[in-house]
Amino acid sequence: MTARKNFPLRIDPGLYGVLEKWAADELRSTNGHIEFLLREAARKAGRLPADKGSSGSSDRNEKKEK
């Protein structure tokens, strides 16, 4: 399993509630969904190369979008 960096995240409770519901709708944990959203944003901004199967959760969502 890939090592993960742990850090505290201060976030508005209202935004957290939105993310929590969104994650549930996508059958992800809130933490996993936040990571997915950040990864997608970094990839779309050209800061992260296209994912080549290193993360199962993003692969699942990309298949669903197509």
Give per-residue pLDDT as tens, 13-52.
999 999 999 999 999 999 999 999 999 999 999 999 775 5
In a domain, 11, yes or no: no
Domain with 40 in it:
18-48+56-65
Q: Say what the pTM is.
A: 0.69
In a domain, 12, yes or no: no
* pLDDT higher than 50, residue 54: yes
In a domain, 61, yes or no: yes
Q: What is the dihedral of CA 41, 52, 20, 3, to 10 degrees?
A: -110
Q: Which residues neighbour 48 within 8 Å (Cβ) at sequence distance 6 or greater?
A: 39, 42
In a domain, 10, yes or no: no
Count how many domains the chain has: 1
